[in-house]
Amino acid sequence: MNINRYIDHTILKPTTTLDDIKTLCMQCVEFDFAAACVPPLYVKLAKQFLGATNTKIATVIGFPFGYSAIEAKVAETVLAIVDGADELDVVINICAIKNNDWEYLEKEIAHLLYIIREKKKVIKVIIESGILLEDEIVKCCQLYGRYGVDFMKTSTGYAEKGATVAAVKLMRENLPANIQIKASGGIRTFTFAKELIDAGATRIGASASVGIVNESKAAEASS
């Protein structure tokens, strides 16, 4: 399998430097990853480094905790698109889920989707599955499935629990077939990445991307 085309090669540390972004983008060019996921500050720079390659530019909105005001997320989204982002990984308001305030979440996604669809960009909705109850995950699938987002994404990587096979399976069982799943958070090996893909993920968010690809090649060579 061409595991590289499943991967969003990611660096989102608060200490990320210009050199880190350059290295990430050069690896994206070398390995032909699906996307480079960078902090909003570096979207313009990533666009310069990646140019006309196949690798898309992704960035995060409301990251990592999701409790920014809707207006703040809208502003972040607009700026990210202006700077050249192709894909927006948006952390939903987890506080609203825990308050059972689905009306707020519906308002939030409606505002964001209006902008993202108008500009023909991709939205990945991060639900932070590791800190949600199964019932909350199912309700998220129902809400964002109804709105027709492009992806639902398991995790930011900042919660105590990241992607799991069980969460991906649960999402796949409760989402419309046209909505894809991005698994992220703690994915450091090809073996785990493949388990998540087999469970229904079509995109993998990882910082250990080069190691995952090399492990995949080694596995193919020994089979």
Active site residue 89: yes
Residue 72 vs residues 46, 59, 108, 213: alpha-carbon distances, Å = 23, 15, 11, 36
Type of residue found at 15: T
Q: Which of 56, 124, 139, 182 is catalytic?
A: 182
* 7: its two tokens: 């991967």
Asked if omega into 64 is within 30° of 0 (cis), the reply is yes
User: Helix, strand, or coil here: 152?
Assistant: strand
Active site residue 182: yes
Q: Which of 8, 89, 139, 194 is catalytic?
A: 89
Per-residue H/E/C for 47-115: HHHHCCCCCEEEEEECCCCCCCCHHHHHHHHHHHHHHCCCEEEEECCHHHHHCCCHHHHHHHHHHHHHH
Q: Between the CA atoms of 105, 41, 208 and 124, what dihedral angle is there, to the nearest 10 degrees?
A: 20
Q: Which of 56, 121, 124, 153 is catalytic?
A: 153
Active site residue 153: yes
Centroid of chain to Cα 51: 21
Type of residue found at 129: S
Residues recognised as catalytic: 89, 153, 182
